[in-house]
Structure 1
Amino acid sequence: MGPPRPQGASHIHHFMPVFYTSRWVTPPGGKLLEYSEPYPGKIVAKPVGPKATGFVDKLNILEDLPPDDARQLEEAFFSPLDDSAAKVLERIESGWGNGGKAQWTSKDRSEWSRFVMSMMFRHPEELESAKAGFAEDWKTVTPEVRAAFEAAGDFPGKPASVEEFLASQAPERIRADALRMVRKVMLDSRAIGERLNNAHWRFVVLPEACFDLVTGDRPVMNTDGLGVKNAYLTMPIGPRRLFVASQSAAVADKVSRTRLPDLAKTTNKGCVRRAYRYVYAKDKTHDEFIRKHFGKDRPLTWMEQMRAVRARAKASGDYPFPDP
């Protein structure tokens, strides 16, 4: 049995796409093995169906958004994005060959890039962190905000200062505005999208001599940022399939042709150690390994990383905005 599902499909947010976790399903039962840590130090493994894992009640995360906006984030963005990615992957695998150098249309590349981006940012911890972080940033009075307030002229009930105006806004509105920024800044980032689109892509097929790949709720691993020429990105897309991207064709080729047992081990270790809520496997082959490494190196959320950058900039005197 999977976790109880909230009533009403429109309330479900699958941060782990069903088509993606389905790739670890083992017939004939149609289930994969889910590892979780319900409380510190307690790792639990159980078979689940792809629809019964990797979801939350959407209202718990998007409770401050008007219903239409909440539905839009899920139904008008994530669901079509997942459907497109599944079809793209099916087309690529049906014509597998060319040494993993799949033939892509520009539309395929765009849709796959957006899906990979979503797998970096669509998780509950990312959304909650973004909501809290943007709400906190609301209080920061930048020169642009002050100028806009002054340019607005008089209006009924206008406070004496921009600080008073910001403080008077309802917390629900602030958090709702913050969540609207999630798609714009994190899920539709032109900078990240262009780097992915322009990268050299490879699909690695592991031989039978290799261990199966596992995956988790943080499956995208990046060695040093996609803007760095010799860096590369990987994401498991099945027990014996790995997506690789790099700005350098030579690096993409080297990674995809490296000693594949070592590549599989490195990938598995990264997926397991980065996991927040779930790790997924085809079977119990990696049981001891997963229990040892589960969640030992969880990455900072995107917002936490941005705040760390700001803190370093402030310490060096390079932070561009004054404190409120």
Structure 2
Amino acid sequence: MTEQSFPAPPAVHHYIPIFYSKRWASGVPRMLTRYALWRPGVIAVDRKAPKGVGWELNGYSFDGFSGDEAEAVESQLMKPKDDFASRMLCRLETSGADGHWTDDERYAWTWFLVSLLVRGPEDVRSAKANISSDWENPNKRMEGRYQKLLAEFPEMRGHAHPTLKEYIASMGRDYGKRLGVKIMADMADHHEISTRIANMHWQVRTIRGGRRLLTSDRPVRRDYPFRSKNSLLTLPIGPKLAFIAANSRDAIDRSFREGEDVFVQKNNKQIVRQARQFAFAFDDSDREWVERNLAKEAQRGFFHFIRGTGARS
């Protein structure tokens, strides 16, 4: 049994990419060190079984629905795509990023990377609240956009509702919630960014020195805007394995120019500081440092991301 891979959370409602390979899962269960920021200045440190982390019960459920309808986002979108991405992770663990990737395989992994930027627990809660409330009670800006649409397409006036509020009312009392489900299903599928990452150079690097990578509930490190020739994206997929994507091979090589230890140090610093609540480690050897840095520069959430703080950067 090796320490090449982080263990995985359950297949449902998970949001933290601490996967494990099938070969590792068959061995003796390994514990993780979890750092949890419960409130400002209060950090709990404990040891958790792999399947006890990285998920939130009913995380994707929308109020007002029940049964299969309530779990539609998880069962119909997240779980199938997560399962496919998990298979791609196993490939990255065993043979790296080399060899031929089909469009579906490359997209499956790219989708997962993008989804990590927008589907943390806080993002999901915010999306559900904002989408449902906005569409149940449209504001003046939303009404103005609706009227502008009618003005641009006057042929619609003959059969369209005169106001957005009347249109929403005609769709039934749960329209805001149903629309929320649809937007939640689409939010992780940001085409522009997915395309850029899919066309980057991919590599898996094994860390051979003594330092280990950490992960968190915000595990994707991004250096430079996606359009920059120096753009670099990293994701720890194990204490000794890092997935790296960049717009050039030179950018990947430069990230290791100062040595593996410096790469790990920089990666750990950004991922721990941008966490919202949780960080995870192979052991507690970095405890003092993690406690000082956890969530000090918490990454902004989904609505900030979509409204321009990263989507087109």
Return the TM-score normalized by structure 2. 0.79
For residue 193 of structure 1, what is the amino acid of its counterpart?
S
Report the equivalent of 1:53. Answer: 53
Deviation track 1:195-237 (CA, whole Å, cap 9, x = no partner) reads 111011111111133x111100000121233222211111111
Q: Are residue 134 (structure 1) and residue 128 (structure 2) matched?
A: no
Report the equivalent of 1:226. Answer: 226
Q: Are residue 161 (structure 1) and residue 163 (structure 2) matched?
A: yes
For residue 117 of structure 1, what is the amino acid of its counterpart?
V
Q: Are residue 44 (structure 1) and residue 40 (structure 2) matched?
A: no
Assess if the C-alpha contact under 8 Å between 2:221 and 2:234 holds in 1: yes
**Cα distance, 1:285 vs structure 2:** 0.7
Give the direction of change, closer, same or farther, for the CA distance of 1:295–1:21 in structure 2 (3 Å limit).
farther
Report the equivalent of 2:176. Answer: 174
1:63 and 1:267 map into 2 onto residues whose CA distance is: 38
Q: Are residue 118 (structure 1) and residue 124 (structure 2) matched?
A: no
Report the equivalent of 1:144. Answer: 149
Assess if the C-alpha contact under 8 Å between 2:84 and 2:108 holds in 1: yes
3-state SS, counterpart of residue 209 of structure 2: coil
Report the equivalent of 2:239. Answer: 239
2:150 and 2:46 map into 1 onto residues whose CA distance is: 51
Assess if the C-alpha contact under 8 Å between 1:23 and 1:239 holds in 2: no
Deviation track 1:158-200 (CA, whole Å, cap 9, x = no partner) reads 6x5335545787774313312311232x212221111111011
1:152 and 1:23 map into 2 onto residues whose CA distance is: 62
Give the direction of change, closer, same or farther, for the CA distance of 1:70–1:24 in structure 2 (3 Å limit).
farther
1:192 and 1:303 map into 2 onto residues whose CA distance is: 15
Report the equivalent of 2:302. Answer: 302
1:127 and 1:295 map into 2 onto residues whose CA distance is: 19
Question: Which of 109, 132, 146 is 2:106 aligned to?
Answer: 109
Measured on the aligned residues, the alpha-carbon RMSD in Å equals: 3.3
Give the direction of change, closer, same or farther, for the CA distance of 1:29–1:165 in structure 2 (3 Å limit).
closer
Report the equivalent of 2:209. Answer: 208
Assess if the C-alpha contact under 8 Å between 1:217 and 1:275 holds in 2: yes
Give the direction of change, closer, same or farther, for the CA distance of 1:127–1:39 in structure 2 (3 Å limit).
same
The gaps in structure 2 that reach 5 residues or longer are: 1-9
Assess if the C-alpha contact under 8 Å between 2:277 and 2:294 holds in 1: no
Report the equivalent of 1:289. Answer: 289
3-state SS, counterpart of residue 62 of structure 1: coil
Give the direction of change, closer, same or farther, for the CA distance of 1:95–1:231 in structure 2 (3 Å limit).
closer
How many residue pairs get aligned? The number is: 290
Return the TM-score normalized by structure 1. 0.77
Report % sequence identity.
Answer: 27
Assess if the C-alpha contact under 8 Å between 1:85 and 1:112 holds in 2: yes
1:292 and 1:149 map into 2 onto residues whose CA distance is: 60
Q: Are residue 193 (structure 1) and residue 194 (structure 2) matched?
A: yes
Assess if the C-alpha contact under 8 Å between 1:23 and 1:237 holds in 2: no
**Cα distance, 1:115 vs structure 2:** 1.4
**Cα distance, 1:114 vs structure 2:** 1.2
Using the TM superposition, name which of 29-38 and 160-169 deviates more.
160-169
For residue 92 of structure 2, what is the amino acid of its counterpart?
I
Report the equivalent of 1:93. Answer: 93
Deviation track 1:25-82 (CA, whole Å, cap 9, x = no partner) reads 9x84522111102222111111112221222221675334564454332123222222
Using the TM superposition, name which of 269-278 and 52-61 deviates more.
52-61
